[in-house]
Amino acid sequence: MNVEVRGLVRTFRRTRAVAGVDLSIGPGVFGLLGPNGAGKTTLLRTLATVSRPDSGAVTLLGRDPADHRQRREIRRRLGYLPQTLSYYPAFTVAEFVEYFALLKEMPREQVPGAVARAIDRVGLAGRARSRLRTLSGGMLRRAGIAQAIVNDPQLLLLDEPTAGLDPEQRVEFRALLREIGTRSTVVVSTHLVEDVGAACTQVALMLAGRVVFTGTPGELVARGVGHGAGDAPLERGYSAILAGARS
């Protein structure tokens, strides 16, 4: 398992953003669903080693992120796309991706090729020399994905990765996720259930800081049969589980 979480708790003042989460995630694409404020972003930030848990055990890629040396090793093998992507407007797309390749301590000789591949995989090869300030919202999102995958991460964490992408780009992005998931662990936090259904092999549903469902997308669909509101099977399964957890 690339991700092992036991009893994870993270509190902000009086709010328990993550209230005891247990997860085991291996290679593949793992979807993280939940309403606003469920704790998805906080969980993802913890897995990205950006935020430290208040209690609980976390093991990432077989290493303990609480130890600074092991944390450094984790970060070399990590790709992270936060929910709100910020950037230096004066950087070009290539410089932005190269910057993060260097920050991830990739061997120097590998950087140019890795940057070119990452930009090509997200369909921005024609805009590699464009300044980030000239890009549309969707292109910026793709540039953010490029920096997350430039080091061929063993653990890829994506928070709302398809925000701003058009339907065609979302289809291409799901194919990219499936391809990466064949050899790495990808954790995708999203509101779009169709992304989960199309790309994920496992799904977890969070509510009020807890995981209330873990299983395959098929099992999520099954939970919604005859129950729940929604226009699609996954949506019905999603709302059925939430209704059950709230009652």
Contact residues for other proteins, defined by CB under 8 A: 45, 48-50, 68, 71-76, 78, 80, 82, 84-88, 90-91, 95, 98-100, 102-105, 108, 111
| DSSP track, 62-124 | TB-TTSHHHHHHHHHTEEEE-SS----TTSBHHHHHHHHHHHTT--GGGHHHHHHHHHHHTT-
For the beta sheet containing 3-12, the strands, ordered from the edge strand earlier in sequence to the opposite edge, are 15-25, 3-12, 55-60
> CB of residue 145 vs other proteins: minimum separation in angstroms?
12
- Based on CB atoms, which residue is closest to other proteins, 46 or 197? 46
User: How far apart (Å, rounded) are the C-alpha atoms in residues 115 and 99?
Assistant: 9
Q: What is the largest CA-CA distance in the chain?
A: 57
Cβ distance 115 to 98 under 8 Å?
yes
Angle, in degrees to the nearest 10, between helices 137-149 and 93-103 = 30
> CB of residue 229 vs other proteins: minimum separation in angstroms?
31
- Based on CB atoms, which residue is closest to other proteins, 41 or 202? 41
How many Cα atoms within 13 Å fall on the side-chain side of residue 197?
Answer: 15
- Based on CB atoms, which residue is closest to other proteins, 103 or 232? 103
> CB of residue 233 vs other proteins: minimum separation in angstroms?
35
> CB of residue 97 vs other proteins: minimum separation in angstroms?
11
- Based on CB atoms, which residue is closest to other proteins, 102 or 229? 102
- Based on CB atoms, which residue is closest to other proteins, 115 or 221? 115
- Based on CB atoms, which residue is closest to other proteins, 75 or 223? 75
In this structure, the strands spanning 155-159 and 3-12 are unpaired
Residue 194 three-state SS: helix
